[in-house]
Amino acid sequence: MNKEIKSIRGMHDYFPKDLKIWNHIETILKEVLTSYCYLEIRLPLLEKTEIFKRAIGHVTDVVEKEMYSFNDRKGNSLTLRPEGTVGCVRAIIQNHSLHKKNNRFWYLGPMFRYERPQKGRYRQFHQLGAEVFGLDREDIDLEMILLTNRLWKRMGIDSYLTLEINSIGSKTDRFQYKKKLVLFLEKYQNLLDQDCKRRLYTNPLRILDTKNIEIQKILEKAPLLTEYINLSSHNHFKNLCSMISSYGIQYKHNKKLVRGLDYYNNTVFEWKSNKIGSKDAICAGGRYDSLIEEMGGPKTPAIGFAIGIERLVLLIQSLKIFSENIQDIDIYIIFIGEHNKCHALNLSEEIRNLHPRLKIFINFFDQNLKKKIKNAINSSARIAILIGDNEIEKECFLVKDLKKEKEFYLSKTQLIVQVKDFF
């Protein structure tokens, strides 16, 4: 029996039609990041498994059950990156890039997590990540919020996203708080679901993040992390909140907001939308002031965020604010007879020399003239150019204005110069 060849579950193909919106988003992302002087960095998809285990945390969901890890031919354990920060920090330390004057970076690419695929959650998904090294004051936290807010404005989706922020303090604060939280939750142990029971002694903070409404009710009476936060973290957060307000950005202080990866401290934030179902976080970020040192680098504060591109695409599609009618073809060239193919090629090359942005399509298919003209009309092209023996003899081309449904002859020189007037 012939087995159908299929892609891996949760990993998708993206065709040109899908990629129009992707390219639109990527253009805005790059423009805005550049306007804040972030520099692009490209990193490997594979890293040693060990660095993710150490940095993300052995008892996090990502490391416990979501990583794609395997041994290479020499028996070294490698992992397809589940996120970008760890690889970025590894690269910055390895390439001694921390002393640079500008330590603002961004990257865009696929991440891999073995999760249950559903709307907004895939096994291969794409993140735009941004990281800033060497700044510990709240100014840079603010600038990141301003940057992401500007992204949503440029995309026309700012009124559909809300900002939630919190401070998770220092490791010591969380250690003290965890003890209190566990003591509290132990009283309700038999009411917890499987996931929360498992997390109770491994990663109790993540229970705060539960989607289970019954457990959310229990948590209403739970001790609050905010009350365990040291003075300096508290002030950092207070200043940040008042600066965000002074820029007119609305936010919600979500006292239960935590992050799924262990390396965060102080500021954490998420931009959420209620338009994309329960997978509502489009962008998530926070500070990770001790990660660089823990990974063997010099003591350096840092902050970053990551945007889930698929979720951004879902949001923009659900709002129907993106028009997919982008021209694929501007000029459609039809030659009649194999021996005229070279004239079509020469003409297209000459037009491109003068007008490099025009999209010129030569129909190389083995089709009759009627079919070729029909295809030209059905394409997005503004004009079609016909090249047959007649035209070559008269030293001019038949130009069909497909919008005004008119046609006329132009010499090659006239055509090359005047063609721009159509666009």
Residue ranges for the known binding site for L-histidine are: 83-85, 113, 127, 131, 259, 263-264
> Could you tell me the smallest distance in angstroms from the CB atom of residue 178 to ligand ATP?
19
Q: How do 396-401 and 406-411 pair as beta strands?
A: antiparallel
The reply to whether 310 sits near ligand ATP by the rule CB under 6 A is yes
Q: Rounded to an integer, what distance in angstroms lies between the CA atom of residue 327 and that of residue 358?
A: 10
The contact mask relative to ligand ATP for 172-201 (x = CB under 6 A, - = no) is ------------------------------
For residue 248, give the 3-state DSSP assignment.
Answer: coil
> Could you tell me the smallest distance in angstroms from the CB atom of residue 112 to ligand ATP?
9
Candidates 311, 343, 372, 382; binder of ligand ATP (CB under 6 A) is 311
Instruction: Give CA angle at 302 (99, 314), nearest 5°.
Output: 125
The reply to whether 12 sits near ligand ATP by the rule CB under 6 A is no
Q: Rounded to an integer, what distance in angstroms lies between the CA atom of residue 188 and that of residue 219?
A: 10
Candidates 81, 90, 104, 113; binder of ligand ATP (CB under 6 A) is 113
Q: Rounded to an integer, what distance in angstroms lies between the CA atom of residue 288 and that of residue 85?
A: 10
Instruction: Give CA angle at 40 (39, 42), nearest 5°.
Output: 145
Residue 310 identity (one-letter amino acid): E
Closest CA to 400 of 373, 361, 420, 423: 373
Closest CA to 44 of 90, 10, 113: 90
The reply to whether 282 sits near ligand ATP by the rule CB under 6 A is yes
Q: Is the CB of 104 or the CB of 311 nearer to ligand ATP?
A: 311
The reply to whether 281 sits near ligand ATP by the rule CB under 6 A is yes
Q: Is the CB of 115 or the CB of 136 nearer to ligand ATP?
A: 115
Stretch that binds ligand ATP, among 145-153, 216-224, 278-286, 331-339 (CB under 6 A): 278-286
DSSP state letter for 208: G
The contact mask relative to ligand ATP for 82-111 (x = CB under 6 A, - = no) is -x----------------------------
160 CB-near residues (< 8 Å, 6+ apart): 273, 274, 275, 315, 319
Contact 272, 157 (CB under 8 A): no
> Could you tell me the smallest distance in angstroms from the CB atom of residue 11 to ligand ATP?
11
Residue 3 identity (one-letter amino acid): K
Q: Is the CB of 185 or the CB of 282 nearer to ligand ATP?
A: 282
The reply to whether 306 sits near ligand ATP by the rule CB under 6 A is yes
Q: Rounded to an integer, what distance in angstroms lies between the CA atom of residue 161 and that of residue 189?
A: 35
The contact mask relative to ligand ATP for 247-266 (x = CB under 6 A, - = no) is -------------x------
The reply to whether 81 sits near ligand ATP by the rule CB under 6 A is no
> Could you tell me the smallest distance in angstroms from the CB atom of residue 128 to ligand ATP?
9
Find tokens 């079919």 and name the residue.
Answer: 371
> Could you tell me the smallest distance in angstroms from the CB atom of residue 303 to ligand ATP?
13
For residue 253, give the 3-state DSSP assignment.
Answer: strand
Phi-psi region of 262 (alpha: psi -120 to 50; beta: other; left: phi over 0): alpha
Instruction: Give CA angle at 252 (57, 206), nearest 5°.
Output: 25
Candidates 215, 284, 316, 415; binder of ligand ATP (CB under 6 A) is 284
Q: Is the CB of 260 or the CB of 388 nearer to ligand ATP?
A: 260
Contact 12, 122 (CB under 8 A): yes
The reply to whether 363 sits near ligand ATP by the rule CB under 6 A is no
Cα separation values, 311 from 90, 316, 332, Å: 27, 9, 36
Candidates 154, 198, 234, 279; binder of ligand ATP (CB under 6 A) is 279
> Could you tell me the smallest distance in angstroms from the CB atom of residue 279 to ligand ATP?
5
Size of residue set near ligand ATP by CB under 6 A? 18
Q: Is the CB of 258 or the CB of 344 nearer to ligand ATP?
A: 258
List of residues contacting ligand ATP (CB under 6 A): 83, 113, 115, 120-122, 125, 127, 260, 279, 281-284, 306, 308, 310-311
